[in-house]
Structure 1
Amino acid sequence: MSVATNKLSVLEFLKRHISKSLSGQDSTHMEYPTRISQTLGIRVIEVGSGTATVEIDVDSAIHGNQQGTVHGGLISELADAAIGTAHSTLMDEGETFASIDLRVNFFRPVWKSTLRAIARPVQSGRTVSHYTCEIVRDDGKVIAMAASAVMTLRGAQAAGR
């Protein structure tokens, strides 16, 4: 006996995930939460069409670099997760995407905080879209800004991804 599934758009799936109202039959064509987000403890806390906010609890005792502050690579991953989540809300069945680039400017150090990354589109194209992402400490100060270009893949380009 097969169990019926309720196939949702990525946006609707994530909205239900955030509100903790997913049923056991709800699914979408992309994997959420992602494996890397599960490993690092990144949480999706808000989504809209082409937008996303994610957060993570960081501590330099765990996520530190040689200077004793939170590693920039983790901050970059947080920005990439927010931007990827934002773009995924626009994907239909049979579509996927790949980051073309990611640029991060760091402004302030972090030792221990809940970091929030807010991704928004600057320009949304049929194939290439551009995003910005602001990363904020729990005291409200911006610690980094990221920019990324993302390419949407369809048809044969999307197969197997």
Structure 2
Amino acid sequence: MTETTLPVLEYLRRQLAGTLRPGDTTHLRYPTAISRLLGLEVVDVDERFAVVRIAADIELHGNQQGTVHGGLLCELADAAIGTAHSTVIAPGESFTSIDLSARFVRPAWSGPLTATARCTHPGRTVSQYQCEIVREDGKVVAVVGSAVMTLRGEAAAGR
């Protein structure tokens, strides 16, 4: 079997289309370990854009009030933002979030939550992203902003 290393965007598009072939890989890890642990699913992707979903369950993801924990919402948004940014990361590069700011709008309970992340400023080194998380009824649960730094050369080594 021949191994084919694909750009991240092409890899994720093939994954979504169900057309990944044995041996198709990319230079980043997909799915991520945290995505597997939490059951996060990439449902749409384009350059600097991603939609990630989770089947929230307050028995697993709940807080003291019986609603979905804000930390899970932040992780969902971070996963969507990271997936969106990974679509422009070349071999030998890496990236890291340098901030994350969440505004919680309303509670969520068990059911699907969908995070849509898009780039609002595509910088060479620092890019800005906005992510909106919605419930099954289409109502916004949280709005999350994040700055993501692309790492190159020695800064990307070992990441």
Q: Is this a same-fold pair by TM over 0.5?
A: yes
Q: Distance in 1 between matches of 2:118 and 2:53?
A: 15
SS of match in other structure, 1:76: helix
Name the amino acid aligned to 2:69: H
Q: Measure how far apart 1:42 and its partner are.
A: 0.2
The answer for the alignment partner of 2:89 in structure 1 is: 91
| RMSD of aligned Cα (Å) | 0.6
Number of residue pairs the alignment of both structures matches: 159
SS of match in other structure, 2:35: helix
Query: Is residue 37 of structure 2 the alignment partner of residue 39 of structure 1?
Result: yes
Q: Distance in 2 between matches of 1:111 and 1:11?
A: 32
2:66 corresponds to which of 59, 65, 68: 68
Q: Measure how far apart 1:77 and its partner are.
A: 0.1
SS of match in other structure, 2:144: strand
Q: Distance in 2 between matches of 1:39 and 1:142?
A: 25
1:90-133 deviation per Cα after TM superposition (whole angstroms, max 9, x unaligned): 00110110000000100111111100000000101100000000
Q: Distance in 2 between matches of 1:104 and 1:30?
A: 26
Q: Measure how far apart 1:4 and its partner are.
A: 1.9
Q: Measure how far apart 1:79 and its partner are.
A: 0.2
Which contiguous aligned blocks of 4+ residues in structure 1 show a shift greater than 2 angstroms? Answer: none
Residue segments in structure 2 that go unaligned for 5+ positions in a row: none
The answer for the alignment partner of 1:4 in structure 2 is: 2
The answer for the alignment partner of 1:155 in structure 2 is: 153
SS of match in other structure, 1:144: strand
The answer for the alignment partner of 1:118 in structure 2 is: 116
- What TM-score do you get using the length of structure 1 for normalisation? 0.97
Q: Measure how far apart 1:35 and its partner are.
A: 0.4
Q: Distance in 1 between matches of 2:38 and 2:16?
A: 18
SS of match in other structure, 1:90: coil
Name the amino acid aligned to 2:18: K
Q: Measure how far apart 1:20 and its partner are.
A: 1.4
The range that moved more, 81-90 or 17-26, is 17-26
- Give the % identical residues: 57
SS of match in other structure, 1:129: strand
Q: Measure how far apart 1:60 and its partner are.
A: 1.0
The answer for the alignment partner of 2:54 in structure 1 is: 56
Query: Is residue 50 of structure 2 the alignment partner of residue 81 of structure 1?
Result: no
- What TM-score do you get using the length of structure 2 for normalisation? 0.98
SS of match in other structure, 1:31: coil
1:146 corresponds to which of 129, 144, 155: 144
